[in-house]
Structure 1
Amino acid sequence: MAAASNRAARLTKLVSDLKKRYKPTAPPQRALFETILFATLLENSPPDVADKVFSEIESSYYDWNEVRVSSRSELAEHMKVLSDPNGSADRLKRTVQSIFETFYKFDLEELKKQNLGQAVKTLEGFDGVTPFVVSYATQNGLSGHAIACNGGVLIAMQVMEIITEAEAKKGIVPGLERAIPKSKGVEAMLVLHEMGVEVGRNPYGAAAKKLLTELDPSCKDRLPKRPKPPEPAPAEEAPAAKAPVTDKKGPKESDDKKAPPKKAATPAVDSKAKATPTKPAAPAKKAPDKAPEKKPAAKAPAKKVETKKPAPKKAAQAAKKPASKKPAAASSTAKKKPATKASAKPAAKKAADKKPAKRKPK
């Protein structure tokens, strides 16, 4: 409870100090739909600059439907004077598209008839809206009590230790609406916004540091510090890591150079290579041994020559002689059959010898 009361007191003091510095003017009143779109441009930019850009967009396009179908880059061309042209163009296009897809029209006046809490939930459901847009539309479009805080306001309050880092990431300042009454809400929002624009333009610059130390002298040690870029360092070390790989190739080349001495062992391989041809030489000698075995087979046709057409009677006589020998062959094994062929040859020769013997008596 003491921390909450301390926060409220510090918020009240901060707003009163800012009123002495800035004398902003209230923005013109617009319909709820236009108020939401204006808030997408106002975030992080001065109110007078955002108002000029909004008027230029209204005059440059036929209607909001043409804005809806336009590209982000085209919209950003009209927003170059804003602090964040690309971000503002993205928020504007997404918000217009989301509202059209929800209501199929560009008029949200009916939300004013609803309960404030229900209307705020509807605003939070639109794509592209930020906590800043919701708070600004609640205050200026729905007549609610909400104070919008841009990114620079959150940075300043975190440096002053009014809010925590977690609260800054969520984009909220708890207790702000309780510390500032509704009657002074619009003025408080405007002076806080001016501070946020100046700090958010360059949190690490001399102007921002001077402003923060003047508002809170105790924050000298908590001023925003430009983060050191650690990512580029590993990127540069990556090629250095590849360098050893190239060095490893060097040793490999040296090993290759040492390889020639190892070739001294190659004579053993050559001796083996010489030994291998001797093995096929052995089968080469066996080939001629088998060749003579085939020659007797070539003599087979000689048998046909012997079987010339002699006198049939003599052939019959020669056939009768081996017939008497066949019983003996039958008693022997089947392997002796070639012997019968051998015996047939001398029988044929005897028959040939006997022929001239018969012719002598004539």
Structure 2
Amino acid sequence: MAASNRAQLITKLHTVLKKKYQAPPTQPTRPMLEHLLYACVLEDCPADLADGGFAKLEQDFFDWNEVRVTTVTELSHVLSRLPDPVKAARRLKENLQAVFEEFYTFELDHLKKENLGKAVNKFEKMPAMTPFVLGYTVQHGLGGHSIPVDFSAMMMMLATEIATQAEAKSGRVPGLERAIPKNKGIEFATLLHIAAVGLSGDLKDKKARETMDAVNKGSSQRLDDWIASKKAAKRRGVKRKAEAKAKAEADAKAAAEAARLAKIAAAEKAAKKAASKAAAKKKSTTRPEPVKSVSASTSKTAKSKSTKKVAVTAKKAAKKPAKKAAAASKKKPVKKSTAKKPTSKKSTSKKPATKKPTAKKSAAKKATATKSKSASKKASKKTAAKKSPAKKKPTKKKGVKKAASKKSSSRKLTKRKPR
């Protein structure tokens, strides 16, 4: 909407309000904090009910700090005559808490001496501060030019097309302070609040509807359409909530059913595992004896094979030295007999020559016998040396024993006298 058209509608609204409604007496002078708290109670509420509720707060509580620490339910009981006591009690308590946290005191009159913009910025930062409370505090407490507009007044502004939907959401009507001068600001705000509260209390209020139609024709019809659309939106919201709730319940049921099936499947799986483990235990208890006998038999066979191999190797080792000894015995007596022929020649002069060959043969047989014995002993010692590899030195002693046996055999041959 153009600024000129809006300004014309605002001035027309002001003139119609003055004709239809009568302004109440001016508000008494209050401290800065009480203006703020009274605005919390007055929002969307008739002035007489707000005055009664505010007076009861001052009567029932010792100071505003006690109100600050009181619960919302207790405050709503005190403000029970208000149209929406819970909202008013919450707004009052939260703004008291914000003021205490911002200034650490309830004495705010020093803000009147400061710059208006700084004070307004401090109040705007408070989380529970509404446009109506801020505008009323600036207008009555700080002496600035600001027209408070609550939800009820904004509904009239929408119906008369002074404000748009976007502006109504923000809670501010641009150009309102320019169209209404400062000296008439309190009067306009008071008359607008009276008409708006009457309409919000009774949507069929003739006086308020006539006022809107006088400002802009068709305002009452637009109000009905807006209320109908709002109700339809509420129904849609309720329907969406019901659908969301039903969907959530269905999802919860499906999840519960899935969890139940999962539990059953897990129980069946656990039962199968337990059965398989039990079967495996039974098999393990029945199989160990045959396994042990097989292992024992295999170990026995392995041991027997190893002993047989050792015996065969020992026999082979015994045969080889025996053969070598036999071959050596066959070769050596010939040399000895040839070397010791002179002794036999000397004895021929004393004994007959027919008995010489017999003595040589017997001596050779004895030498072979002694050599075979020594060879068998050597073979047995070699097998023992193979079994005990640590003892390898006796090999030298065997050579000494061979020499000793040779000497003994030669001595026996020389000592023997011919018969």
TM-score (norm 2): 0.57
Question: Partner of 1:225 in structure 2?
Answer: 230
CA offsets per residue over residues 69-123 of structure 1, 9 Å max, x none? 3333222221111122222222222333343444444333333333433443344
Local SS of the residue matching 2:192: helix
CA offsets per residue over residues 282-334 of structure 1, 9 Å max, x none? 7646646766979xx9xxxxxxxxxxxxxxxxxxxxxxx97651223456796
Counterparts of 2:141 and 2:260 in 1: how far apart (Å)? 74
Counterparts of 2:142 and 2:294 in 1: how far apart (Å)? 116
Question: Partner of 1:14 in structure 2?
Answer: 13
Counting only pairs closer than 5 Å after superposition, residues 144-163 of structure 1 correspond to structure 2 as 144-163=144-163
Gaps of 5+ in 2: 214-218, 266-278, 308-371, 389-419
Report if the CA contact (8 A) 2:35-2:140 is conserved: yes
Structure 1 pair 83/278, CA: closer, same or farther in 2 (3 Å)? closer
Q: 1:325 aligns with which of 373, 376, 393?
A: 376
Structure 1 pair 322/26, CA: closer, same or farther in 2 (3 Å)? farther
Which stretch of the first structure deviates more once superposed, 45-54 or 237-246?
A: 237-246
Local SS of the residue matching 1:11: helix
Gaps of 5+ in 1: 256-269, 298-320, 338-362
CA offsets per residue over residues 170-224 of structure 1, 9 Å max, x none? 21111111122223222211222123324545xxx85379956963145154444
Question: Partner of 1:191 in structure 2?
Answer: 191
**Corresponding position: 1:55 with 2:55:** yes
Question: Partner of 1:240 in structure 2?
Answer: 250
**Percent of residue pairs bearing the same amino acid type:** 36
- What amino acid maps onto 1:238 in structure 2? A
Counterparts of 1:89 and 1:249 in 2: how far apart (Å)? 46
- What amino acid maps onto 1:328 in structure 2? A
Counting only pairs closer than 5 Å after superposition, residues 300-339 of structure 1 correspond to structure 2 as 325-329=376-380
TM-score (norm 1): 0.65
CA offsets per residue over residues 121-157 of structure 1, 9 Å max, x none? 3443455332211211222223322110011222332
CA RMSD of aligned residues (A): 4.3
Counterparts of 1:289 and 1:117 in 2: how far apart (Å)? 106
Counterparts of 1:243 and 1:286 in 2: how far apart (Å)? 61
Counting only pairs closer than 5 Å after superposition, residues 1-362 of structure 1 correspond to structure 2 as 3-31=2-30, 32-126=32-126, 128-201=128-201, 206-207=203-204, 215=213, 216-217=219-220, 219=222, 220-223=224-227, 224-226=229-231, 227=234, 228=236, 229=238, 230-242=240-252, 281=290, 284=293, 287=296, 325-329=376-380
Local SS of the residue matching 1:83: coil
Structure 1 pair 188/243, CA: closer, same or farther in 2 (3 Å)? same
Q: How many residues align?
A: 295
State the shift of 1:240 in Å: 2.9
Q: Which of 1 and 2 has greater Rg?
A: 2
Report if the CA contact (8 A) 1:152-1:200 is conserved: yes
Counterparts of 1:68 and 1:245 in 2: how far apart (Å)? 46
Counterparts of 2:98 and 2:110 in 1: how far apart (Å)? 17
Structure 1 pair 56/236, CA: closer, same or farther in 2 (3 Å)? same
CA offsets per residue over residues 3-44 of structure 1, 9 Å max, x none? 111111222223333344433414522222221211111111
- What amino acid maps onto 2:88 in structure 1? S
